[in-house]
């Protein structure tokens, strides 16, 4: 199957700093990528949909100025957590559907996740 | 809005025993249904999916699931569990959306396998 990578796998930062997380589709192009957040022992919550060449679409309750998303190429989306605080500590996961735009359904492939700890 | 319920937070089974993980969904149209497995340090891996057709779907690693519209359920089963099956399992429902697919996940079921 297709491979999605994330970098870094773990990051620890001080409160008030910004952290950038990269999501790459390694062997396919992804015009759309999804960003999820997962709290311990809880489900994945969709944060936003990243669209190549256009603005991201955020889910209700997600601060777009807090979580900046850039989808600059067909294989890379970045999530920047700005002015991070301890409550932003979480496991962030990206996914990318393969296949052509407009396909009936394109299987999503998930990255291994990034563990963010804000001190 | 779509939603998924996984009633069992934790399940423990003995190796070699059968397994059934429950999943109930709520969705206004024909759902796209999925089961994913999450192991520590690895991304979610798709076990199987249902879009239409035969309501009993076969997946990888010996898993199967049955779509029951009347019960709004999509339970995951395996006849004989292996110790390597210990992981977190997520049921998800998808809404067709252009070129992608927004997934709504259940809260997951943690499977423990006793040797």
Q: Across the interface, which of A46, A95, A105 has its CB nearest the CB of B32?
A: A105
Q: Write the pLDDT tens digit of every residue in A29-48.
A: 888 899 999 988 788 999 99
Q: Which of A100-109, B39-48, B82-91 has the lowest mean pLDDT?
A: A100-109
CA B111-B114-B115 angle, 5° bins: 140
A110–B100 C-beta distance less than 8 A: no
Q: Write the pLDDT tens digit of every residue in B90-106.
A: 999 987 654 346 788 99
CA-to-CA distance for B91 and B66, rounded, in angstroms?
12
Question: For residue B103, which residues of chain A lie inside 8 Å, CB to CB?
Answer: 34, 44, 46, 95, 108
B103–A34 C-beta distance less than 8 A: yes
Q: Write the pLDDT tens digit of every residue in B25-60.
A: 998 777 889 999 998 777 889 999 888 888 999 999
């Amino acid at each position: 199957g297709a491979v999605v990578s994330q970098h870094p796998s773990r990051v620890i930062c001080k409160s008030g700093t910004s952290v950038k997380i990269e999501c790459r589709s390694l062997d396919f192009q992804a015009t759309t990528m999804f960003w999820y957040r997962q709290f311990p022992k809880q489900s994945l919550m969709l944060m936003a949909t990243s669209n190549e060449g256009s603005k991201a679409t955020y889910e209700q309750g997600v601060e777009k100025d807090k979580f900046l998303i850039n989808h600059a190429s067909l294989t890379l989306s970045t999530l920047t957590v700005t002015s991070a605080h301890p409550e932003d500590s979480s496991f962030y996961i990206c996914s990318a559907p393969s296949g052509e735009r407009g396909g009936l359904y394109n299987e999503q492939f998930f990255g291994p996740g990034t563990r963010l700890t804000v001190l | 809005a779509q939603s998924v319920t996984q009633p069992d937070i934790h399940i423990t089974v003995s190796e070699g025993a059968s397994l059934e993980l429950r999943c109930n969904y709520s969705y206004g149209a024909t759902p796209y249904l999925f089961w994913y497995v999450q192991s520590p340090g690895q991304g979610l891996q798709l076990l199987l999916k249902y879009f239409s057709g035969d309501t009993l779907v076969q997946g990888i690693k010996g898993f199967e699931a049955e779509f029951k519209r009347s019960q709004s359920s999509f339970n995951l089963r395996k006849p004989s569990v292996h110790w390597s099956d210990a992981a977190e399992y997520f049921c998800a429902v998808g809404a067709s959306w252009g070129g992608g697919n927004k997934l709504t996940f259940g809260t997951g079921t943690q499977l423990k396998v006793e040797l």
